[in-house]
Amino acid sequence: MSIKTEIERLLNELPAGVKLLAVSKFHPVEALEQAYQVGQRAFGESRPQELKQKAEILPRDIEWHMIGHLQTNKVKYIAPFVSLIESLDSERLAAEINRQAEKCGRTIDCLLEIHVTDEESKSGWDYDELLSFVRGGGFAAYPNIRIRGVMGMATFTDDEAVVRHDFERLAACKAELAQYFGEEFDTLSMGMSDDYHIALEYGTTEVRIGSTIFGARQY
Ligand SMILES: *Cc1c(COP(=O)(O)O)cnc(C)c1O
């Protein structure tokens, strides 16, 4: 199926209130343009320099989401324009995002990426550490960051019960953390090409879909 047909199919399928993030990492700008032509405006990238290069070429009304692990020395590439950093996973990174946001005169929206699987390869906060940081009012030191919710990934497995358990846990983390933030804490970003159907059952508000839309990535 073509990029356009896939986007239209997904937009039809997703319930109202669930946002579609088109994960375009490793795909050329021509692919993003096709998605743009059928009205897609939110794109997710995993590498700051690639995100910046694409943003410079493509229309200005695109909403760029950073979804990959973000090194502190690369925040500066995206700070002036990024719409949402979904991979905020440490206090050190929060401090740097805050510093760069302040330099640009912006407040940057971020999601707390939480590690809920047993896989060492996945990034994200350890939930207990995050909870104590939040309870201690840790984010008050970073006024140029606005925490909008939670992002996470399920275990890479065919065992659906494990995937369900991970999404249930992410939803519970989001629900518990909500009491420490305001009404703007409204986003639960979970679900990818292979598991978004399941994420929908656990209340996701944003699915991040790459290969279903754009095909396999060439690394
Ligand atoms: C690559 C990536 C996706 C998209 O994965 P697909 O399986 O291609 O849909 C979603 N979320 C994150 C964090 C990613 O790195």
Q: What average pLDDT does this structure show over 20-34?
A: 98
Distance from Cα 61 to the centre of ligand 1, integer Å: 22
Residue-wise pLDDT for 202-216, tens only, equals 999 999 999 999 999
The answer to whether 87 touches 123, Cβ cutoff 8 Å, is: yes
Q: What average pLDDT does this structure show over 19-25?
A: 98
Q: Is the CB of residue 68 below 6 angstroms from any atom belonging to ligand 1?
A: yes
Return the number of other C-beta atoms located less than 10 Å from residue 169's C-beta: 17
What pTM was computed for the model?
Answer: 0.97
Q: Is the pLDDT of residue 119 over 90?
A: no
Q: Is the CB of residue 208 below 6 angstroms from any atom belonging to ligand 1?
A: yes
Ligand 1 atom closest to 151 (CA): 13
Assigned token pair, 49: 């320099």
Give the largest CA-CA distance in the chain.
Answer: 49
pLDDT of residue 1: 73
Share of the chain above pLDDT 70, in %: 100
pLDDT of residue 63: 98
Q: Is the CB of residue 23 below 6 angstroms from any atom belonging to ligand 1?
A: yes
E-only strand ranges, the chain: 19-23, 42-45, 63-66, 84-88, 108-113, 145-151, 187-189, 206-209
Residue-wise pLDDT for 37-94, tens only, equals 999 999 999 999 999 999 999 999 999 999 999 999 999 999 999 999 999 999 999 9
Q: Is the pLDDT of residue 138 over 80?
A: yes
Q: Which of 103-107, 108-112, 118-122, 132-136 has the lowest mean pLDDT?
A: 118-122
Q: How far apart, in Å, are the Cα atoms of 23 and each of 5, 31, 76, 141, 191?
A: 16, 11, 21, 31, 12
Ligand 1 atom closest to 194 (CA): 7
Q: Is the pLDDT of residue 153 over 90?
A: yes
Ligand 1 atom closest to 214 (CA): 8
Q: Is the CB of residue 210 below 6 angstroms from any atom belonging to ligand 1?
A: yes
pLDDT band for position 121 (50/70/90)? confident
Q: Is the CB of residue 66 below 6 angstroms from any atom belonging to ligand 1?
A: no
pLDDT band for position 173 (50/70/90)? very high
Q: Is the CB of residue 215 below 6 angstroms from any atom belonging to ligand 1?
A: no
Q: Is the pLDDT of residue 122 over 80?
A: no
Instruction: Identify the DSSP state of 183.
Output: T
Distance from Cα 211 to the centre of ligand 1, integer Å: 8
The answer to whether 9 touches 196, Cβ cutoff 8 Å, is: no
Distance from Cα 208 to the centre of ligand 1, integer Å: 6
Distance from Cα 193 to the centre of ligand 1, integer Å: 7
Distance CA 96, CA 110 (A): 13
Query: For the purposes of burial, counting CB atoms within 10 Å of the CB of 148, is it exposed (0-12), middle (13-18) or buried (19 or more)?
Result: buried
Domains and CATH numbers, the chain: 3-214 (3.20.20.10)
Share of the chain above pLDDT 90, in %: 95
Q: Is the CB of residue 209 below 6 angstroms from any atom belonging to ligand 1?
A: yes
